[in-house]
Amino acid sequence: MSTIAEKPKSTAKDFSSDQEIRWCPGCGDYSILKQVQTILPEIGVERQNVVFISGIGCSSRFPYYMNTYGMHSIHGRAPAFASGLKISNPDLSVWVITGDGDALSIGGNHLIHLLRRNFNLNILLFNNEIYGLTKGQYSPTSPEGKVTKSTPMGSIDHPFNPLALAAGADGTFIARAMDRDPVQLRDVLREASEHKGTSLVEIYQNCNVFNDGAFEVFTDKHTKANTTIFVEHGKPMVFGENQNLGLRLDGATPVVVDLEVGEYAVDDLWVHDKTDRFKAGILMRCFETPGADGQGIPRPFGVFYRENRACYEDLLHNQIKTAYERKGEGDLDALLRGNNTWTIE
């Protein structure tokens, strides 16, 4: 007689490596690391089947702190490493860790190709709107006019809207979260991990050394309620200090309405549908920065868009399977022989 002991469930601690974490004290990366370590046991993956692949930058040190398989690769190329890895072993849970410079500047090309191919993996794009590791130059997401070490007269670069870019590359899962809202971040990460396809999660992350407060208007408890909206599938877009504000669509234009005035009720509001590519696009384009007093369109967070589309690695392995079915397992002698031979005796 034998008893099968139930395997102890892993915990966040099991996913934490023995390496000392060397991000600056107060960096937003700590929160993201913690939320990732928290959700991994919840989603039921085992450490040995998880691979974190990063590029270069502050955020890209992430894999060293995870007690899983990991690769700290080269600047901008993590999506390409991940593509080869995923083709080689589609069963692995693969997480690409990247930043705004890594993913959108030096690695922009790989990001868009990863999205269109739709490998089943997750991209966590830590956006702090600055180059941190190189000590404070503007990034491709820095706002116009941003004064940095390399732009003493203000940046003249028009910034990327990462989510709109991902949509343009036909990304199948597009979401935004922030380091200072761990609950929402965990929700988004969980859903990203469940999505079969490439999940892009942009995470607003505060660089308290070189760009402190870049997202303060969205994260500060005094302004957050009026400047942000967390969208949920099937729910009307309500926000505000007392859930007193809402978003409705006037044609294709989002409009903020005050629910307390009596002109509009919750039933009149825009109901979020993450399967609606067109409306998700409108949501992604809500990109102006609202005033702290709640004037203007709030910055949306949550899962904007999700669609099911075949994954590259599945299509590739289907072709391999078909080749085996049609031709049988490769016979090396037949390959060496080819079609036309002659014999000299």
Partner 1 sequence: MPQRVSESKKEVTILFAGDSGDGIQLTGSQFTNTSALFGNDISTFPSYPAEIRAPQGTIAGVSGFQLNFGSIEIFTPGDRCDVLVVMNAAALKANLDKLKIGGAIIANIAGFDKKNLKLAGYLDQRNPLEDNSLGKYRVIEIDVTKLTRESLKDSSLGMKEKDRSKNMFVLGFLYWMYNRELAMTEKFLKEKFAKSPELIESNMAVLKAGYNYGDTSEMFTTRYEVKPAPMPKGTYRNMMGNQALAIGLIAAAQKADLPLFYGSYPITPASDILHELSRHKNFNVRSFQAEDEIAAITSAIGASFAGNIGMTASSGPGIALKGEALGLACILELPLVVVNVQRGGPSTGLPTKTEQADLMQAFYGRNGEAPIPIIAASSPKDCFDTAFEAVRIAVEHMTPVFLLSDGYIGNGAEPWRLKSAADLPKITAPLIQKPNAGDAFLPYKRNEKGVRPWAVPGIAGLEHRIGGLEKEDITGNVSYDPENHEKMVKLRAEKIDKIALSIPLQEFDNGFATGKLCILSWGSTYGAVKTAVKEMVEEGYSVSHIHLRYIFPFPRNLEQLLSGFDHVMVPELNNGQLVKIVRSEFLIDAKPLNKIKGLPFSSIEIREEAEKYFV
- Closer CB to partner 1, 76 or 159, in the complex: 76
On whether the CB atoms of residues 167 and 158 are closer than 8 A, the answer is: no
Q: Which stretch binds partner 1 (CB under 8 A): 58-66, 158-166, 172-180, 246-254?
A: 58-66
Q: Figure out which of the listed residues 35, 68, 219, 228 binds partner 1, where binding follows CB under 8 A.
A: 68
Pairwise CA distance, residues 210 & 128, whole Å:
9
Q: For residue 103, state whether it binds partner 1 (rule: CB under 8 A).
A: no
Q: Which amino acid is at 340?
A: N
Q: How far is the CB of 4 from partner 1 (least distance, A)?
A: 18
Q: Are strands 93-99 and 69-72 parallel, antiparallel or unpaired?
A: unpaired
Whole-angstrom distance, CA of residue 270 vs CA of residue 156 = 35
Strand partners for 299 = 228
Cβ nearer to partner 1, comparing 183 with 320: 320
Q: How far is the CB of 315 from partner 1 (least distance, A)?
A: 12
Distance separating alpha carbons of residues 89 and 309, to the nearest angstrom? 19
Identify the residue among 12, 21, 24, 74 touching partner 1 (CB under 8 A).
Answer: 74
Figure out which of the listed residues 49, 150, 275, 295 binds partner 1, where binding follows CB under 8 A: 49
Q: Which CB atom, from 20 or from 250, has the smaller least distance to partner 1?
A: 20
> In angstroms, rounded to a whole number, what is the distance separating the alpha carbons of residues 24 and 219?
19
Q: Is 129 left (phi over 0), alpha (psi -120 to 50) or beta?
A: left
What is the spatial distance between Cα 330 and Cα 327, in angstroms, rounded to a whole number? 7
DSSP state of 16: B
Residues 300-319 binding partner 1 (CB under 8 A) are 316, 319
* Residue 234 binds to partner 1 (criterion: CB under 8 A): no
Q: Given the complex with partner 1, which of 113 and 285 has the nearer CB atom?
A: 113
Q: Give the interface with partner 1 as residue ranges (CB under 8 A).
A: 17, 19, 46-53, 56, 63-64, 66-75, 77, 79-89, 91-92, 109-110, 113, 316, 319-320, 323-324, 326-330, 332-333, 335-338, 340-345
